[in-house]
Structure 1
Amino acid sequence: MTTYSGKTIEEAIANGLKDLSLTRDQASVAVKVQPRNGFFGIGRKLAQVEITKKEEPKTEENNQASVKIVNQTFTVAGFDQAPTEDEDSEEQNEEKLQDIVTDLSTYLNDVIDAMGFEHTLSTDLKNHHSLYVNIDTAEEKQSLLIGRHGRTINAMQGLAQIYVNRLGANNLNVVLDIANYRARRSEALAQLAEKTARNAIANGKPVYLNPMPAFERKEIHNVLADNDHVITYSTGREPHRVIVVAPK
């Protein structure tokens, strides 16, 4: 089994058939990597296919022998039946998700390398809906990758989310973190929410917070959801959408 590359799947197949001196009918083709133009010029990939020569047709005698074997029941480690379609589908989805995580890691590595930072990435797929990506870099570089009020890491997280969505993982939520920044930011947002609520109640007027990304606005909403004295809502258009804390 040999792997061949090309800008398109058709080109990769043509390269393989020419090298192996086979016609299309004589070859079995398995697509290993779909071609990708990349995102903002980063992450470009060639198509890759594996090509093998098809086996010669079996004789009638061999076919009869094969039928006898197929009709037998084999028991391995206590199992006497093939995997169900649901099990096969679940395994395929798991493999696809792992491929997406690998592709995203490659993309993020390319982005951070292009920014000039030495780093390592680690990923934790907590379930089929949440992917935690930690970026480990030198301590003196951490604040640069995080950015003022988290703008740089939030921008990279936004790119990562768009990237996995483009790969078909629309239900996968990506969280990028550096030096436990997300936990520290969540604590700061909770304190901000409580302080803002007290100000709104004391002054009897709504308080408008600075623009922040949707996932941070959601944290403010959640912190004050059980507060009987204020309501929260968002107003404006992205990227200038703000959260408002108003007395009831």
Structure 2
Amino acid sequence: MTVFEGNTVAAATAAGLKQLHLTREQVELEVLAEPKKGFLGIGKQAAQVRLTAKPQPKSAVPARAASMAAKSTPSAATDAGVSAAAVTTKTATPAKTTAPKTQKKVVMPKPVITAAPVSEKPVVTAAASTVITKPADTTAPERTPEQIAARQAANEQAVRDLSAYLLEVVKQLGITADLDVDFGNRYATLNFDTVKQGLLIGKHGRTINALQDLAQVYMNHHGASHVNVVLDVDDYRERREETLERLAESTAREAIATGKQVFLDPMPSFERKLIHAELANNRHVTTFSEGRDPHRAVVVAARK
């Protein structure tokens, strides 16, 4: 007596008959639960049936089993004058059966394929079951002299266009200036020559730094992103570097004396690097940056 489940009563019954190896006429069916679909999958219930095997009549014993029992009785039991009840039947000793030898299953080694980069093609050899990968060619293709010359000409043209663009921008600011350009393979230094130096530099170099960021964006949009642009006014960059070095040393002394963190004014990234580099070998202080551009600033703190 076993309970079976299914999507429908018929499906549950079929599953039970298959498991019990019986037919529908050989079992008694009792439906325990009807299937329910539920709403949006909630409350769904499968059909449940109980199958009970019917008792088999004695007449259903196969004739073959009876004949096998008859063969097991000794022939002497059929002699006259001997009662069949007095004859002890000997059960035939089952013949020894030789179990078939289990054949050894030969398992062929499976080739192992390892993951390879997209640029590599794995080559599998079935005999050795190994993977041979061809290394990707990471060598950059060499450029021809004509390509190098064309690239250099394009960069020079981009720098000339940038110079004209910057002169027009400063003209809109009311500043009359000339440009002295120093151009190399990966750099371009543009030095303004003007009588209004302070107006072009701005407070703490904010105006010239903003123009430098604008110039770098211009070069990026004209396919010369690898060219680093620096704008200068009357050697302002050199004088600013000396000022930052003195500022780093004085700030370090203040941090050591007070034992507190000292915050500097917000600076562009290349000026913050100068402060970090100047105090990198100082064993008494440490430096780090806080904030987000354009308000990111260097912090100098005493080592504990």
TM-score by length of 2: 0.51
Of structures 1 and 2, the larger Rg is shown by: 2
Q: State the partner residue of 1:191.
A: 246
Q: State the partner residue of 1:14.
A: none
Are 2:170 and 1:112 equivalent residues in the alignment? yes
Q: State the partner residue of 2:188.
A: 131
When the two structures are aligned, how many residues end up with a matched partner? 162
Q: CA RMSD in A?
A: 1.4
- Structure 1 regions of 5+ residues with no counterpart? 1-83
What amino acid sits opposite 1:169 in the alignment?
A
Are 2:153 and 1:95 equivalent residues in the alignment? yes
Runs of 4+ off more than 4 Å: none
Could you tell me how far apart the structure 2 residues matched to 1:182 and 1:111 are? 20
The secondary structure found in structure 2 opposite 1:222 is: helix
Could you tell me how far apart the structure 2 residues matched to 1:215 and 1:172 are? 16
The secondary structure found in structure 2 opposite 1:246 is: strand
Deviations 1:79-136 (A, max 9, x none): xxxxx952122111111110111111111111111112221111101x3222110000
Q: State the partner residue of 1:150.
A: 205
Which fold has the larger relative contact order, with Cα–Cα distance below 8 Å and residues 6 or more apart in sequence? 1
What amino acid sits opposite 1:90 in the alignment?
I
- Structure 2 regions of 5+ residues with no counterpart? 1-141
Could you tell me how far apart the structure 2 residues matched to 1:85 and 1:187 are? 41
Deviations 1:15-34 (A, max 9, x none): xxxxxxxxxxxxxxxxxxxx
Are 2:260 and 1:205 equivalent residues in the alignment? yes
The secondary structure found in structure 2 opposite 1:89 is: helix
Could you tell me how far apart the structure 2 residues matched to 1:245 and 1:130 are? 31
The secondary structure found in structure 2 opposite 1:134 is: strand
What amino acid sits opposite 1:191 in the alignment?
R
Q: State the partner residue of 1:243.
A: 298
Q: State the partner residue of 1:60.
A: none
Q: Percent identity?
A: 51
Deviations 1:42-67 (A, max 9, x none): xxxxxxxxxxxxxxxxxxxxxxxxxx
Could you tell me how far apart the structure 2 residues matched to 1:243 and 1:85 are? 42
The secondary structure found in structure 2 opposite 1:234 is: strand
Deviations 1:167-205 (A, max 9, x none): 122222111111111111100000000111111112222
Could you tell me how far apart the structure 1 residues matched to 2:155 and 2:217 are? 15
Q: State the partner residue of 1:167.
A: 222
Q: State the partner residue of 2:27.
A: none
Counterpart selection for 2:281 from 205, 222, 226: 226
Could you tell me how far apart the structure 2 residues matched to 1:121 and 1:201 are? 44
Q: Which moved more, 1:108-117 or 1:183-192?
A: 108-117
TM-score by length of 1: 0.63
The secondary structure found in structure 2 opposite 1:133 is: strand
Could you tell me how far apart the structure 2 residues matched to 1:117 and 1:223 are? 35
